[in-house]
């Protein structure tokens, strides 16, 4: 297996300028819905510097020329180019002044509802198990280009997703299904044209290893021990690095501290259990590492903005969906 390219920050947008801090974007700040968001050149959110985000992203370019800085390299973007970005991967796409494009943001649970893995573990999943991942994993070595007719079809899919994302929340279940159908249609078009390239890249071991092994070991340790007391020292020992080095790696790779990652993983697990089980909130809190029910309720409200019971009523009331906020 060939070694994967190293992940370095993309070039600065202006030569000689001081490198700004890497921004960390979330679905809550960059998407219309908890699981999906789409923007175009008319309502694009500010994106002037290299950054990363906690979700998957697809950039569908209809008109204009620009460059995608990703994975320590550059990929050209022209009319009919579709670009894919893994979560937490530092990248940058300067928008062309005359560009026509769509930017799609997708949560992991929405793109891969049946894959119960952390986003940091996805680079190790075989394509046969999760073919949706292929264009994201091979973006660093392939350019996904389409002819005029295919580009028109891609544009139409984006417009349909935009229409559904703008519907009232009362129609959320239908929109959820339709958006995901259009999204899979888009990825299917990429597979039809580049499927053999994906298989070749996987056989050659060209998958972009986006995250350092110590970070992967740390994330596994956290997710496997959520109910236990978790310390940076114990996680560092499980990750085979010093505590100081692990703290630095986590901050540089994810933009978060060890405690922030632990709390995030605990709350995410609690959300899943609240929606998909009938286990009491107190038991869920204990099973996710919150010793006292009051502490669980307080931290849950701080992070999610509502109580565990209210969250359960909100999402169980409309059925156990295949996505979690």
Q: Which domains does the chain have, with CATH numbers?
A: 23-203 (2.60.120.280), 213-316 (1.10.10.60)
pLDDT in tens, 88-133: 888 899 988 899 999 999 988 889 988 877 887 777 788 889 999 9
- Whether the pLDDT of residue 324 is over 90: the answer is no
Q: Are 300 and 311 in contact (CB under 8 A)?
A: yes
Q: Nearest to residue 251, comparing CAs of 238, 270, 232?
A: 232
What is the pLDDT, as a whole number, of residue 4?
Answer: 38
pTM here is: 0.76
Helix (H, G, I), strand (E, B) or coil at 51: strand
What is the pLDDT, as a whole number, of residue 282?
Answer: 92
- Determine the Cα–Cα distance for residues 165 and 21; give it in Å rounded to an integer: 31
- Determine the Cα–Cα distance for residues 299 and 267; give it in Å rounded to an integer: 8
- Determine the Cα–Cα distance for residues 206 and 232; give it in Å rounded to an integer: 32
Q: What percent of the chain has pLDDT over 70?
A: 86
- Determine the Cα–Cα distance for residues 64 and 52; give it in Å rounded to an integer: 23
What is the pLDDT, as a whole number, of residue 157?
Answer: 97
Question: What are the backbone angles phi and psi of residue 313, rounded to the nearest 5°?
Answer: -60, -40
- Determine the Cα–Cα distance for residues 220 and 215; give it in Å rounded to an integer: 9
């Amino acid at each position: 297996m060939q070694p994967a390219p190293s992940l370095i920050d993309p070039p600065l947008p202006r030569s000689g300028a001081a490198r700004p801090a890497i921004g960390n974007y979330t679905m809550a700040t960059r998407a219309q819905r908890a699981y999906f968001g789409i923007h175009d050149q008319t309502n694009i959110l500010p994106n002037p510097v290299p950054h990363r985000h906690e979700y998957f992203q697809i950039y569908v370019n209809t008109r204009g020329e620009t460059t995608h800085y990703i994975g320590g390299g550059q990929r050209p973007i022209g009319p009919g180019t579709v670009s894919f970005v893994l979560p937490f991967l530092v990248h940058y796409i300067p928008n062309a002044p005359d560009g026509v494009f769509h930017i799609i943001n997708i949560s992991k649970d929405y793109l891969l509802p049946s894959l119960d893995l952390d986003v940091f573990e996805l680079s190790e999943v075989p394509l046969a198990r999760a073919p949706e991942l292929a264009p994201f994993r091979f973006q660093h070595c392939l350019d996904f280009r389409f002819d005029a007719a295919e580009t028109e079809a891609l544009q139409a899919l984006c417009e349909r997703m935009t229409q559904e994302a703008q519907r009232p929340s009362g129609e959320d279940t239908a929109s959820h299904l339709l958006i995901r159908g259009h999204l899979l249609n888009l990825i299917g078009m990429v597979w039809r044209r580049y499927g053999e390239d994906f298989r070749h890249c996987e056989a050659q071991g060209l998958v972009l290893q986006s995250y350092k092994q110590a970070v992967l070991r740390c994330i596994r340790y956290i997710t496997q021990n959520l109910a236990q007391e978790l310390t940076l020292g114990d996680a560092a020992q499980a990750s085979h690095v010093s505590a100081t080095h692990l703290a630095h790696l986590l901050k540089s790779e994810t933009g978060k501290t060890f405690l922030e990652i632990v709390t995030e993983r605990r709350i995410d697990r609690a959300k899943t259990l609240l929606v998909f089980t009938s286990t009491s909130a107190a038991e869920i809190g204990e099973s996710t590492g919150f010793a006292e029910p009051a502490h669980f309720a307080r931290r849950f409200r701080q992070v999610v903005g509502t109580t565990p019971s209210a969250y359960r009523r909100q999402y169980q009331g409309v059925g156990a969906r295949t996505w979690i906020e």
